[in-house]
Structure 1
Amino acid sequence: MSLRICILETDILRPELVDQYQGYGRMFERLFAQQPLPASFEVFNVVRGDYPADEERYDAYLVTGSKADSFGSDPWIQTLKTYLLQRYENGDKLLGICFGHQLLALLLGGRAERASQGWGVGIHRYQMKQRPQWMSPALDELDLLISHQDQVTALPDKATLLASSEFCPVAAYCIDDQVLCFQGHPEFVHDYTRAILDIRQTCIGEPTYRKAVASLEQSHQGAAVAEWMMRFVAQGKNAQSA
């Protein structure tokens, strides 16, 4: 049975990148097409105020990355927080990436803030702390493309830490079989990451920029994370229908 996923897109790409990459929702659709579990997707740009109709139901709701701060006061962020809290209290499954990872941690009792470590960019390696059954393929370490200056600094009480590094201690977590979040960007590709690095070169500083560009010689494991997310959603669905 095909999974039905709602993608809540929390950014609008820079004009010079739209023609090639469209948006984060489209990037996720391309990513999920590579993994073995069938799924269909609908994308809603919440920055523009787009949300599913009240009667629509999905197997999971995915919150994308954003250039905005998860702890920001923008009206669209407050609207999104209200919507996600309703979904959580309704028992819906929630997936978060970067901004979404931070926003869900904040919403559910954790903390997210500007990181004292500075910008995280390029390809970063994390150590896996837990390997639940749905985490197939199993990995001891995870390489992901990243682009963030904020981090989760305290997990919600019920959360389980899944991945960590010295630079980013809270890199992935889950809450029971309902919430799964990653700081890294499984949907990013090398060319998009390089374009963002070039745009932010002055902002992030030359040494960090050069190190990040050099890291792009490596591969990353975004496809594995996509499979984990879909298996996480499917496991809960299978349990409900059993």
Structure 2
Amino acid sequence: MTLRICILETDILRPELIDQYQGYGKMFEQLFRNQPIPAEFVTYNVVQGQYPADDEHFDAYLVTGSKADSFGSDPWIQTLKQFLLERYRRGDKLLGICFGHQLLALLLGGKAERAAQGWGVGTHQYRVADQPEWMTPSVDDLTLLISHQDQVTALPENARLIATSDFCPNAAYAIGDQVLCFQGHPEFVHDYSRALLDLRQEQLGADTYQKAIKSLERDHDGYVVAEWMMRFVANGKQKAKAAEPA
């Protein structure tokens, strides 16, 4: 079984980074190559108004990170929200990372806003709060590369908390077999995080910048989260197939 994933790319990288990293869609494709579940990917940049045709079938839709605010009023964000709400209502599986994590929380009854804690940058460790069957391999703590100044401050009513920390209480959540979201960036690599930190050094301030640079000495669990995401989609697909009439 090969999964078919639609990547909804919600940003265009800074000009200084495009040549080396291309875009978040490409980063996710590289990440998912290293997990054991076969999958193929098609990327659409929704900032540029790109969307799949109505008759295209995907096993899941993944919403990437973005410089934009999930609670922003940009027309492309409003279009994306309507698209995702339609997909949710018809039962499609939705995955969200950073901006996508926040946008889906907002869309489904939660709250996202500028965080009083300030910027989260570098690597960050979370406590795993729940371990459903698809969370293989199993870990007690999760370390991810992060870059955000907004957070989900209230989960949707029917959401299940997956990972948490004092700095970011609602770091990951799931809604049934349909929605799975993470605040951290499994697709980031250390060099990309370092480049972002250097570009934002003045904005972050010396203390936050130096602590973040130091934190990059730690490994992260991006490949673990990648496998969780694909197992989440595959598990839901298997359940749906088993429920079909013979």
Q: TM-score range by the shorter chain?
A: over 0.9
Moved over 3 A (4+): none
- CA offsets 1:19-67 (integer angstroms, 9 cap, x no match): 1000000000000000000000000000000000010010000000000
- CA offsets 1:175-207 (integer angstroms, 9 cap, x no match): 000000000000000000000000001111110
* Corresponding residue of 1:61: 61
* Corresponding residue of 1:201: 201
d(CA) in 2 for partners of 1:162, 1:238? 22
Q: Normalized against structure 2, the TM-score is what?
A: 0.98
Q: Match of 2:181, SS?
A: strand
Matches within 5 A, 1:31-70: 31-70=31-70
Q: Match of 2:77, SS?
A: helix
* Corresponding residue of 2:75: 75
* Corresponding residue of 2:145: 145
Q: 1:133, CA displacement in angstroms?
A: 0.3
Q: 1:16, CA displacement in angstroms?
A: 1.1
Q: 1:147, CA displacement in angstroms?
A: 0.1
d(CA) in 1 for partners of 2:117, 2:47? 28
d(CA) in 1 for partners of 2:84, 2:193? 28
Q: 1:168, CA displacement in angstroms?
A: 0.2
Q: 1:240, CA displacement in angstroms?
A: 1.5
d(CA) in 1 for partners of 2:161, 2:81? 22
**Identity of aligned pairs, percent?**
73
Q: 1:241, CA displacement in angstroms?
A: 1.6
Q: Root-mean-square deviation (CA), in Å?
A: 0.4
Q: Match of 2:144, SS?
A: strand
Unaligned segments of structure 1, at least 5 residues? none
Q: Match of 1:227, SS?
A: helix
d(CA) in 2 for partners of 1:32, 1:2? 12
Q: Normalized against structure 1, the TM-score is what?
A: 1.00
